[in-house]
Structure formats: structure tokens, C-alpha cells
Chain A
């Protein structure tokens, strides 16, 4: 991990190298935003190969404190990277909730919201469009070589 961090005590800064395949740019922006109050940040490098974030502390600090800021930044990357993955996974739930909030707030008789209403309510759950209520055996048949994957 330490090879990703280069400390420059004279300039009171730290250079963090990030692999954009692991932490995409939008995640880096989110992490950077958290540090704008305590440091000056600059982004450099190649968005496809290696992104360099230069963090210059606003106050004069020592090497250990600079290292700590660098590691905190890496933690923020993980935090936002996870948030991005989790949001993508449950994006539909978030969409449905926000649509419902807008519909309630804007008034259900509002013409502008009719398309949203149709989108969220086109499937009647009683008809079981996703086949949740169908017994496993009926749905997947009697496969002798099948695994009960979970």
C-alpha cells in the first residue's frame, strides 16, 4: 500500500497513485470532495492508466500526519467505491423510492407524473410477474445434476 503514497515533506504534500480500473474517476471526485477543507488537491496523470492525486496540507504538518492524510484518502476511496457498487446493485429500489416521493410530492393527478406512475405501476404484484410465488420444483424442474446455488 505504501508504494501508492509518496510523501514530500518540503512541499508539505503527499502524492497518491490510484488505479482507475479499481477506483473510477467519479469515485475519486467523491473522495476528493471530502478533503477540500483540510487540503489543496490537484488531479494529474492518465485517466486510463494511473491517476495521481496531489494533496497539499493547508497547515504545516509532519511526515506522519501527511501519511495519515494519505491513508484516510485511500479509506475514502474504498468507502465511495463500495457505495458506488452497492448503489448500482440496488439502483432499482432507489429509483422506485424516489419516483414515489416525487409522485406524492407533486400530486398524483399531475399530468407530468403520469408516465412515472405508469413506469412504477405497470406490473401488478398479485399477478406475480417475477414468478416469486412459483414453487422451486415447478420452476426449475427435476434436474438430477443441478446444484442448490445460493
Chain B
């Protein structure tokens, strides 16, 4: 599972494939999401990027991981045809 939610710890763990997501864009996303959550980014072995998010409000915990991934993917637009 790319997105794992731990409601008890109020934490979201995201694993993204480095072949498709750029660590710089992910750091940029974290900056843009700073009003919504705190987080850290770690490069793992096996070509993965690990992101831990701690939402400021518990109400967004279900959707935050998805929104974060979408935003990061949106920033990859610079690598797209258009």
C-alpha cells in the first residue's frame, strides 16, 4: 500500500516510486502543505521515497495522503509533454 494511515499516531506514511516522483517536487509539496501538516522526506533503498505526514487537524487524515500525492504528481508537469 502506497499510503498507510495510522489514526492513533495521527500519522500518514507514503511510499512513492523514485522513477515517477521527483524528490525536489515532493519537498516543494511539503512546503506548500505546511499550513495543513508537518512532514519529512526520506530516500529509501529499492528506489522509494518515504514521506511521513502529521496533519495539523485530524479531520483531514483520510484524504491528506491522496491530496499530497496528487499535488506532487501535478508538480511533475514540468516533465510532461505540455
Q: Contact between B73 and A43 (Cβ–Cβ < 8 Å)?
A: yes
Q: Say if the beta carbon of A46 comes within 8 Å of chain B.
A: yes
One of B16, B19, B73, B81 near A36 (C-beta < 8 A): B73
Q: Contact between A44 and B2 (Cβ–Cβ < 8 Å)?
A: yes
Q: Say if the beta carbon of A100 comes within 8 Å of chain B.
A: no
Distance in angstroms from B15 CB to nearest chain A CB is 10
Q: Say if the beta carbon of B17 comes within 8 Å of chain A.
A: yes
- Asked whether A44 and B81 contact (CB < 8 A) given A29-B73, A33-B74, the answer is no
One of A27, A40, A41, A46 near B81 (C-beta < 8 A): A27
In the assembled complex, which residues on chain B have CB atoms less than 8 Å from the CB atom of A41? 69-70, 73
Select from chain A the residue with minimum beta-carbon distance to B66: A40
In the assembled complex, which residues on chain A have CB atoms less than 8 Å from the CB atom of B2? 42, 44, 54
Q: Contact between B69 and A44 (Cβ–Cβ < 8 Å)?
A: no
Q: Contact between B81 and A84 (Cβ–Cβ < 8 Å)?
A: yes
Distance in angstroms from A38 CB to nearest chain B CB is 11
Q: Say if the beta carbon of A30 comes within 8 Å of chain B.
A: yes
Q: Contact between A29 and B80 (Cβ–Cβ < 8 Å)?
A: yes
Complex formed: what's the CA distance from A121 to B79 in Å? 31
Distance in angstroms from A87 CB to nearest chain B CB is 7
Distance in angstroms from A125 CB to nearest chain B CB is 31
Chain A residues numbered 64-113 whose CB sits less than 8 Å from any CB in chain B:
80, 83-84, 87
Q: Say if the beta carbon of B77 comes within 8 Å of chain A.
A: yes
Q: Contact between B82 and A40 (Cβ–Cβ < 8 Å)?
A: no
Complex formed: what's the CA distance from A40 to B73 in Å? 10
9 A-B interface contacts by CB (under 8 A): A29-B80, A29-B81, A33-B73, A33-B77, A41-B73, A43-B20, A44-B20, A54-B2, A80-B80
Residues of B within 8 A of A (CB): 2-3, 16-17, 19-21, 66-67, 69-70, 73-74, 76-77, 79-82
Residues of A within 8 A of B (CB): 25-27, 29-30, 32-33, 36, 40-47, 51, 54, 56, 80, 83-84, 87
